[in-house]
Structure 1
């Protein structure tokens, strides 16, 4: 029950909802989230840490980068529905995904 309450609390913030929406696309580093949402590194990291502490995301380090991914499990299946059936019907969440895809395209061109 505590895990469910922590998840619901974590989802009560618009920025965290926007981050979860992006992480449903793929594993992302903090810089990807910053660019897609046009937020500071501090703000992105703070919200990612909140989601991690709520058991919703995991992280892994690669060199100086930290990559985050969504944790999917049966107890939190409602999050799939929230993101895929509800959030993605709203313009802001679709715009975030477009912004992410544009950023990743530019980033791949620059890095290759």
Structure 2
């Protein structure tokens, strides 16, 4: 059940907003978020669990890795505007997107 108050609380932290911005791009592993935002695994995981409990993200396990993606629900469409019309035009969110793209390019090269 989606609780709007929980959703808004989930969005009320700068680190969680930065994570939401990244997850709007694609599904990401915890390590991708850690590297992009330069935060610890514990901090990334704590914020991802908060977002999951708020009904904003979902996770899946693959071997030892946890992957997170945005939970899509028509009632959460206001977040589309938040991300695309607002966050993506502001620092540090623009820089986070640059860092994510750089990280993913380097990660792909290393995995080839």
Q: Which category describes the TM-score, using the shorter chain as reference length?
A: over 0.9
Deviation at 1:2, TM superposition (A): 6.2
Q: TM-score, normalised by structure 1?
A: 0.97
In structure 2, the gaps of 5 or more residues are none
Q: Which residue of 2 aligns with 1:23?
A: 23
1:66-81 to 2 correspondences below 5 Å: 66-81=66-81
Show structure 1 runs of 4+ deviating over 2 A.
Answer: none
Q: What's the Cα RMSD here? A: 1.2
- How far apart are residue 9 of structure 1 and its match? 0.3
Distance in 2 between the 1:43 and 1:107 partners? 22
1:71-110 aligned at under 5 Å gives the runs: 71-110=71-110
Partners in 1 of 2:41 and 2:108 — Cα distance?
20
The answer for the alignment partner of 1:58 in structure 2 is 58
Q: Counting helix residues as a fraction of each chain, which structure ranks higher?
A: 1
Task: Select between 40-49 and 87-96 the one with higher mean Cα deviation.
Answer: 87-96
Alpha-carbon separation, structure 2, partners of 1:27 and 1:33: 10
Using the TM superposition, give the Cα deviation of residue 91 of structure 1 relative to its aligned residue in structure 2, in angstroms.
2.1
Counterpart in 1 of 2:37?
A: 37
Structure 1 residues 56 and 2, CA gap change in structure 2 (3 angstroms): closer
Aligned residue pairs, count? 112
